[in-house]
Amino acid sequence: MLQVDHASVFFAAWDGRTVHALDRVSFNIPERGIVVALGSSGCGKSTLLNAIAGFLPLSEGSITLDGRPVSGPGSDRGVVFQKDSLLPWKSVADNVALGLQFAGLGRSERRERALELLRLVGLTDFANATPYELSGGMRQRVGIARALATDPDILLMDEPFGALDSLTREQMQELLISIWARTNKRIFFITHSIEEALFLGTEVLVMSPRPGRVVARFNLDFVHRLAANGDARSITTSREFAELREEIRAILHNADNIRSAA
């Protein structure tokens, strides 16, 4: 279980002000859970993800993974960013295997594991290609394969599909659901998109603008239904989906208005 307990972050801004980025955020990610943080720009979503990844310390509160405090980056957490950070001079397979080199695996084991992961993300034929030969969606597939290489307990995804066209984005969401169903990974996922949050989350945390706090949470099972029958259209066109979308839209709108009036 990943447990985030009253997590707050204050930054010292360049002009001496204190920026209160995150305010007492608490949630758990149980086995097979996908928690989605949804909110407008600047509400502290990336700050939260970076704290879970161990890239920045909390000012207050705690984060534990299976009872152990998170105090820095570790191979138990795999991170996927919106902008892929593939090394352009290395092949796709070598990019996927990058973390395994640090984990001390031999060359042939690394290659074998990379090929297995490329199969999982549907890129077997591109193992020897270089990143510039790939489309944006394919590059994000490589990013996901790389994040999975060390077999982490949890995938941390910071708007991974935010820069993709809508069709590719839908395909990537479906791919992620199939990977989740096959690997049983826990996922923490950040997005601006209400539809994406509803589609993917077992729990959606709706966040307010700065200081980022959780203003509503929803437990959902659309993703379980998608994993079971794969019929995305019957879900996105359902009345239940539309009503939740409107409810969350209103919450986000109110949270933004409260902030602008403050």
Ligand X SMILES: Nc1ncnc2c1ncn2[C@@H]1O[C@H](COP(=O)(O)OP(=O)(O)OP(=O)(O)O)[C@@H](O)[C@H]1O
Question: Considering the rule CB under 6 A, would residue 46 count as an interface residue with ligand X?
Answer: yes
Is 21 among the residues that bind ligand X (CB under 6 A)?
yes
When the beta carbons of 113 and 210 are compared against ligand X, the nearer one is 210
Give the range of 44-52, 105-113, 125-133, 241-249 binding ligand X by CB under 6 A. Answer: 44-52
Report the residue number, 93 or 204, with the smaller CB distance to ligand X.
204
Contact (CB, 8 A) for 163 and 135: no
Site for ligand X contains 44 (CB under 6 A): yes
Query: Are residues 10 and 122 in contact, defined by beta-carbon separation less than 8 angstroms?
Result: no
Rule CB under 6 A: is residue 262 a binding residue for ligand X? no
Is position 169 an interface residue for ligand X (rule: CB under 6 A)? Answer: no
Cα 145 from Cα 142, distance rounded (Å)? 5
45 vs 141, which CB is nearer to ligand X?
45
How long a stretch of residues is the chain? 262
> Which DSSP helix (H) or strand (E) runs through 37?
strand 34-38
> Judged by CB under 6 A, does residue 43 bind ligand X?
yes
Amino acid letter for position 80: V
148 and 92 Cβ atoms separated by less than 8 Å: no
210 binds ligand X, rule: CB under 6 A: yes
Q: How many residues bind ligand X (CB under 6 A)?
A: 13
Label residue 44 left, alpha or beta by phi (over 0 means left) and psi (-120 to 50 means alpha): left
Specify the DSSP class assigned to residue 149.
Answer: T
Q: Are 5 and 51 in contact (CB under 8 A)?
A: no
55 binds ligand X (CB under 6 A): no
Site membership for ligand X, residue 41 (CB under 6 A): yes
Which positions lie near ligand X, rule CB under 6 A? 11, 13, 19, 21, 39, 41-47, 210
